[in-house]
């Protein structure tokens, strides 16, 4: 019977995951701020675009009916 020993260094992967979580938390914070700002406006209709790290992640038509 043959066996194989595999060693995996997960340090870089864990660092990347922490960086990704931080970026996601920043996006959540941006969504929350956008929601607060949008709630201040009434009787208006416009397109709102939300960007995270330079990429468009959401586009919505905002009006007083919502």
Structure tokens at 59: 């586009």
Each residue's pLDDT, cut to its tens digit, for the chain (66 residues) gives 888 888 888 999 999 999 999 999 999 999 988 887 877 765 556 778 888 888 888 888 776 554
| pLDDT (0 to 100) of residue 5 | 86
Sequence-distant (6+) residues with CB within 8 A of 44 are 62, 63, 64
**SS3 call for 42:** coil
User: What pLDDT sits at residue 8?
Assistant: 82
Query: Residue 66's pLDDT is what?
Result: 47
Q: What is the pLDDT of residue 25?
A: 92
Give the per-residue pLDDT at 53: 86
């Amino acid at each position: 019977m043959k066996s194989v020993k595999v060693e995996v260094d997960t340090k870089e992967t864990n660092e990347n995951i922490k960086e990704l979580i931080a970026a996601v938390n920043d996006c959540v914070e941006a969504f929350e701020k956008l929601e607060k700002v949008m709630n201040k406006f009434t009787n208006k209709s416009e397109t709102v675009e939300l960007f995270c790290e330079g990429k468009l992640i959401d586009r919505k038509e905002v009006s007083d009916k919502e």
